[in-house]
Structure 1
Amino acid sequence: MIKPVPDRDSAEWWERVARHEFVIQSCEGCGTLRFPARAYCPRCRGRDWSWRQVSPTGRILSWIVNHQPFLPDAPTPYTVVMVRLADAPGCVMVGNWRQSEEPVADQPVRAFYTYVDERLSLINWGPL
C-alpha cells in the first residue's frame, strides 16, 4: 500500500485522523472553514488558525469508479467519492466508498475510519 506523505500543512491533520478526530481548519481572522489544511486563509490571507471538530457527515457531490489497478494486486474496481461536509459546505473531502451499492448524487453519508497501522487511519465514506 502506498501511504500518504504528510507535509508541513497536513501533518497534524493526519495525526488527528489517526486518533479518529474529524477536524478541519478554522481561520482565526475571518472564521472561514477550510480543507485541505494550508498555511494561509484563502479568504483573508490570515495565518492564524485552529482546528475545529465538525460533524463527520455530508452529502455526495460526485464519484468515480476506477478500473485501473495502480498497484500490483490492488483490487479493482473501486469507488472514490467527493463529499461536501455538512458543517462546512465550502469543504470537500475525498475518500473510498466501500459499500456494495453504488453511491447516489446528494446522498447523505458519514465518515468512518479505516485503520492502516498505529500511525495511520484513512477516512472513508458510507451511507448515513
Structure 2
Amino acid sequence: MTARLDPDRDSAPWWEAVDRGELLLQRCTACGVPRFPARALCNRCRSRDSDWIPARGTGAVYSWIVNHQRFMPNLPVPYAVVCVRLDEGEDILMYGNLVDEAGNAADPATLVPGLRLRAVLIDGLVQWTPAE
C-alpha cells in the first residue's frame, strides 16, 4: 500500500474500494447524481443520503502537469499528473499519474486535451493509462 493521508468520514468507503481494486463514485440517493470527491451533502438537492456505485473507470484528459522535480529517489522524472473528466459527468474530475500498461510512467508528450484514458488501480492509488 502506498502512503496517503488518513481517509475521512466521507472518503473512507472510496479508499476501501480502491484497496479492493474497485473504483466507486458516491451517488445521491435522493436525486441520483453521482459525485466525486465524496462529501456529506449533494450539490444539486442538498440531500445527506448517498450510496456508492461502480464507476466506468473511463474519461478524457481535461488538464495535466508535467513534473520534472525528483521528490522521491525511486520516482523517475519527468512524469505527468492528469486531471481526468470522468464519463459519469462533466463535473466529476479525478487526478492520477499517467502510466503505461506495465504501470510505469508514460511519456507526457503523448498527452493532448480529450485523450481517452482508463483507470488502473496500482498500489492503492488510481492511475490513468491511454484507452485502447
Same fold by TM-score greater than 0.5: yes
Which of residues 100, 103, 106 is equivalent to 2:111? 103
More strand by share: 1
* Percent of aligned pairs sharing the same letter: 46
- Count of residue correspondences: 123
CA distance in 2, matches of 1:73, 1:85: 30
Could you tell me which residue of structure 2 aligns to residue 69 of structure 1? 70
CA distance in 1, matches of 2:5, 2:81: 16
CA distance in 2, matches of 1:114, 1:5: 18
Could you tell me which residue of structure 2 aligns to residue 118 of structure 1? none
Matched, 1:7 2:2: no
Is contact 1:24-1:54 (8 Å) kept?
yes
CA distance in 2, matches of 1:93, 1:86: 11
Using the size of structure 2 for normalisation, the TM-score is 0.84
Using the size of structure 1 for normalisation, the TM-score is 0.87
How far off is 1:35 after superposition? 0.1
* Unaligned 5+ runs, structure 1: 116-120
CA distance in 2, matches of 1:7, 1:75: 30
CA distance in 2, matches of 1:88, 1:26: 12
Deviations 1:66-108 (A, max 9, x none): 1223345543222100000112332000000122253111011
CA distance in 1, matches of 2:71, 2:41: 33
Is contact 2:34-2:88 (8 Å) kept?
no
How far off is 1:21 after superposition? 1.1
Residues 1-128 of structure 1 correspond to what in structure 2 (within 5 A)?
Answer: 2-71=3-72, 74-98=75-99, 99-100=106-107, 101-115=109-123, 121-128=124-131
Larger mean Cα displacement after TM superposition, 29-38 or 100-109: 100-109
* Unaligned 5+ runs, structure 2: 100-105
CA distance in 1, matches of 2:113, 2:58: 15
RMSD over aligned Cα atoms = 1.6
CA distance in 2, matches of 1:73, 1:127: 23
